[in-house]
């Protein structure tokens, strides 16, 4: 019998996780299968307990369930997931415990490392203050980055920066409104877009244009639909290094895979599978 893994979300029809994980299981000759399940927030508790009762190997959670999971008292979040306020990976322990992790920040870190970005001491502008921004800010602060969170709703940026600062991590962080972006970018090493700007179907939108970017900058857009966002095009036009959001997707999945199985997954194959699905 195959060991079943799954991703819960709503909507979930377009998830790339089943293709990515099933490719990895096949390549490794593991008798496992990964499915997508539509789960409404109010049913999350029942769905997770049901999966545990049925002997699932592990779960991913996606929109709108990541924050919901922390409201369930039977999930034991690790310190990072607790700080972020969101769980994207559920691990079923051998003795019945259900653990919540968040691998989004690790995914972003690995994507930046692939681009040879030295995170410690680098000046990073994180645009957006939603769940993805929280995961990235906590991780990069732990790695010693100097972060400015910049957001349309300034209070959210300040709140995120305050939360990260309270964790007393090695990095530095502050939060501000969008109007300061141009000036901030002049002295920045990395720009990470975590806002929905540029995402299909609003592909013309961008947080910054080529004139505001420069060639010493690494521009990382976590939006991967379309594959080359307007922001990444603007970054190329400015001579900046670019990092695709596909990498964060693949690496957060790879970290989840390791947590469930203890096995190192074939990330190049996972990347290829996701890229093919997005063509
Ligand atoms: P997630 O949890 O996936 O990161 P989210 O919580 O919906 O997503 O956050 C989306 C982010 O995109 C927010 O930072 C949002 O800004 P606000 O906090 O001001 O809402 C940002 N965003 C969405 N549309 C935007 C737009 N048109 N211009 C600027 N920022 C935008």
pLDDT in tens, 165-222: 999 999 999 999 999 999 999 999 999 999 999 999 999 999 999 999 999 999 999 9
pLDDT at residue 68 in the model: 97
Which two three-digit tokens encode residue 93? 């322990």
pLDDT at residue 42 in the model: 98
Residue 276, judged by CB atoms within 10 A of its CB (0-12, 13-18, 19+), counts as exposed
Which of 70, 128, 154, when mutated, tests ligand 1's pocket best, judged by the most ligand atoms within 8 Å of its CB? 128
- The full set of domain ranges for the chain reads 3-102, 105-244
Closest CA to 198 of 238, 236, 225, 235: 225
Query: What are the residues whose beta carbons fall under 8 Å from the beta carbon of 130, sequence distance 6 or more?
Result: 156, 194, 195
Sheet order of strands, 89-92 included:
32-38, 3-9, 58-61, 89-92, 98-101, 75-77
The helix/strand/coil state of 75 is strand
Confidence tier at 162 by pLDDT (50, 70, 90): very high
pLDDT at residue 13 in the model: 92
pLDDT at residue 169 in the model: 95
CATH code, 3-102: 3.40.50.10860
> Was 225 annotated as part of a binding site?
no
Residue 218, judged by CB atoms within 10 A of its CB (0-12, 13-18, 19+), counts as buried
Would you give the distance in Å from CA 263 to the centre of its chain? 21
C-alpha span between 189 and 219 (Å, rounded): 9
Residues with CB under 6 A from ligand 1: 128-133, 151-153, 156, 194-197
C-alpha span between 210 and 217 (Å, rounded): 11
Nearest residue by C-alpha to atom 12 in ligand 1: 195
Instruction: Compute how many other C-beta atoms are within 10 angstroms of the C-beta atom of residue 124.
Output: 26
CB 229 within 8 A of CB 207: no
* Average pLDDT score over residue span 93-116: 97
C-alpha span between 35 and 51 (Å, rounded): 12
pLDDT at residue 279 in the model: 86
C-alpha span between 180 and 149 (Å, rounded): 11
Which two three-digit tokens encode residue 133? 């921004």
User: What average pLDDT does the structure give for the chain?
Assistant: 97
Which of 10, 65, 152, 177, when mutated, tests ligand 1's pocket best, judged by the most ligand atoms within 8 Å of its CB? 152
Torsion of CA 138, 96, 3, 68, to 10 degrees: -40
Ligand 1 atom at shortest distance from the alpha carbon of 195: 12
CA angle 161, 226, 148 (to 5 degrees): 15
CB 129 within 8 A of CB 156: yes
Q: Which CATH superfamily is domain 105-244 in?
A: NAD(P)-binding Rossmann-like Domain (3.40.50.720)
* Average pLDDT score over residue span 260-275: 98
Buried b (16+ CB within 10 A) or exposed e, 232-250: bbbbeebebbbbbbbbbbb
* 78: Cα within 13 Å, side-chain hemisphere: 12
Phi first, then psi: what are they for 163, rounded to 5°? -60, -45
Which two three-digit tokens encode residue 228? 């080359």
């Amino acid at each position: 019998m195959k060991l079943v893994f799954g991703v819960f979300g709503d909507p979930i029809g377009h998830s790339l996780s089943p293709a990515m994980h099933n490719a990895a299981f096949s390549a490794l000759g593991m008798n496992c299968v990964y499915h997508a399940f539509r789960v409404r927030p109010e049913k999350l508790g029942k769905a997770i307990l049901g999966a545990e009762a049925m002997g699932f190997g592990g779960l991913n959670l996606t929109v709108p369930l990541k924050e919901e999971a922390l409201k369930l008292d039977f999930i034991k979040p690790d310190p990072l997931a607790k700080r972020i306020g969101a769980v994207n990976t559920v691990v079923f322990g051998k003795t019945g415990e259900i653990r919540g992790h968040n691998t989004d920040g690790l995914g972003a870190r690995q994507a930046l490392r692939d681009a040879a970005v030295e995170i410690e001491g680098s000046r990073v502008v994180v645009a957006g203050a939603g769940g993805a921004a929280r995961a990235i800010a906590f991780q990069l602060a732990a790695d010693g980055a100097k972060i400015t969170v910049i957001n349309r709703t300034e209070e959210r940026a300040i709140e995120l920066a305050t939360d990260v600062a309270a964790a007393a991590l090695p990095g530095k962080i502050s939060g501000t409104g969008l109007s300061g972006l141009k000036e901030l970018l002049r002295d920045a090493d990395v720009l990470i877009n975590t806002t929905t700007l540029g995402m299909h179907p609003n592909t013309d939108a961008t947080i910054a244009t080529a004139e505001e970017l420069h060639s010493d900058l690494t521009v990382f857009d976590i939006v991967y639909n379309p594959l080359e966002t307007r922001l990444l095009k603007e970054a190329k036009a400015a001579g900046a290094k670019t990092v695709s959001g596909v990498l964060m997707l693949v690496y957060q999945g790879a970290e989840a895979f390791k947590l469930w199985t203890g096995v190192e997954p074939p990330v190049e194959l996972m990347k290829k599978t996701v890229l093919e699905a997005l063509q």
